[in-house]
């Protein structure tokens, strides 16, 4: 990865990275395309990015900030070439892997990830994005550049489920409040979860109302980068039946979560179930 300062922007040359696939594969909900650029809110900041071939430009971001913050956020310090090579040992996995090449598992904050995937339950991606947008606008800090930060759990811990009415998030309102209270008091935290094995961390997350196995696994994979976690939603279940009736191939075990994301993207967008 080579990093270059280009009149106030940072231009990065990196292989195995697709901005579009990474931002559109269903792991994050706060980035939108705006012409050539992607604009989104992350880590308390509004950022704009664009990509041409292997060059990704972080607009208005200096190399120091890129290296300190955004390289890690987009998981650009991980060697996906090596991961992909391991996954390609299985022929079916190879297809999904080649199709999804460029997807990276972003390192998003745990609270934002958990909360987003609580909202995701029995819901579709466009509506999830809408609810999260209203959620941030209603309870988040305004930011330079016109966006709103993701609300802090402490802010929501003082609220009641009925305060979330304008979000139109349905039955999920009380789940968000319960999660906020458990995070605000430290009952659940990245530190506690980090000290536990996968099953223990899963169980602790599932003490939150509205958090079952799938949402817990999303929090572990996308919010704590536990790549052994394998979130199984309706798409993954369908895809597994069709593609891997005998279960996930052994070669995928250490990177089950990364394989999961390739399979999810493949199942949803390749026409596997629509043609």
Question: Interface with DNA includes 115 (CB under 7 A)?
Answer: no
Judge contact between 254 and 229, C-beta under 8 A: no
- Shortest CB 166 distance to DNA, Å: 10
**Residue 235 binds DNA (CB under 7 A):** yes
Give 40's strand partners: 31, 47
| Cross-strand partners of 5 | 10
* Options 57, 210, 223, 259; binder of DNA; rule CB under 7 A: 210
Which segment (6-14, 45-53, 71-79, 215-223) binds DNA by CB under 7 A?
A: 215-223
Nearest distance in Å: CB 26, DNA = 3
Q: Does 225 bind DNA (CB under 7 A)?
A: no
Sign of the C-alpha dihedral, residues 18, 250, 27, 78? negative
Q: Near DNA by CB under 7 A, which window of 52-60, 142-150, 209-217, 248-256?
A: 209-217
Q: Which residues contact 111 (CB under 8 A, 6 or more apart)?
A: 150, 152, 153, 183, 223
Window 169-188: residues binding DNA (CB under 7 A)? 169-171
Task: Measure the CA–CA gap between 212 and 75, rounded to whole angstroms.
Answer: 26
* Residues in Cβ contact with 168 at an 8 Å cutoff, skipping those fewer than 6 apart: 131, 134
Sequence-ordered strand ranges (E) for 27-129: 31-34, 37-42, 45-52, 55-59
Q: Which is nearer to DNA, 232 or 251 (by Cβ)?
A: 232
In angstroms, what is the minimal distance from the CB of 128 to DNA?
7
Binding residue for DNA (CB under 7 A) from 122, 199, 246, 274?
Answer: 122
Burial 97-114 (b: 16+ CB within 10 A, else e): bebbbbbbbbbbbbbbbb
Choices 49-57, 88-96, 167-175, 179-187; region in contact with DNA by CB under 7 A: 167-175
The binding site for DNA (CB under 7 A) comprises 25-27, 117, 120-128, 168-171, 206, 209-216, 218, 231-236, 260-261, 264, 268
């Amino acid at each position: 990865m080579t990093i270059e300062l280009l009149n106030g922007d940072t231009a990065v040359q990196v292989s195995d990275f697709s901005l579009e696939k990474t931002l559109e594969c269903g792991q994050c909900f706060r980035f939108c395309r705006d012409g050539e650029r992607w604009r989104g809110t992350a880590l308390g900041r509004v950022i704009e990015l664009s990509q041409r071939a292997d060059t990704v430009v972080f607009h208005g971001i200096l190399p120091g900030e890129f290296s300190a913050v955004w390289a890690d956020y987009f998981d650009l310090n991980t060697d996906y070439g090596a991961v992909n090579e391991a996954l390609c040992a299985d022929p079916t996995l190879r297809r999904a892997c080649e199709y999804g090449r460029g997807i990276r598992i972003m390192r998003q904050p745990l609270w934002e990830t958990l909360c987003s995937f609580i909202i995701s339950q029995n819901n579709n991606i466009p509506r999830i994005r809408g609810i999260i947008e209203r959620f941030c606008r209603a309870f988040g800090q305004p930011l330079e550049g016109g966006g709103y930060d993701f609300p802090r759990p402490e802010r929501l811990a003082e609220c009641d489920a009925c305060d979330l009415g304008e979000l139109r998030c349905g039955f999920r309102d009380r789940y968000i409040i319960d999660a906020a209270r458990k995070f605000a008091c430290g009952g659940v935290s990245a530190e506690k979860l980090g000290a536990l094995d996968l099953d223990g961390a899963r169980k602790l997350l599932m003490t939150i109302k509205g958090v079952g196995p799938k949402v817990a696994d999303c929090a572990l994979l996308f919010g704590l980068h536990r790549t052994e976690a394998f979130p199984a939603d309706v798409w993954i279940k369908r895809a597994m039946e069709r593609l891997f009736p005998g279960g996930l191939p052994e070669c995928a075990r250490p990177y089950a979560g990364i394989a999961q994301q390739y399979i999810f993207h493949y199942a949803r967008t390749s026409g596997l179930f629509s043609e």
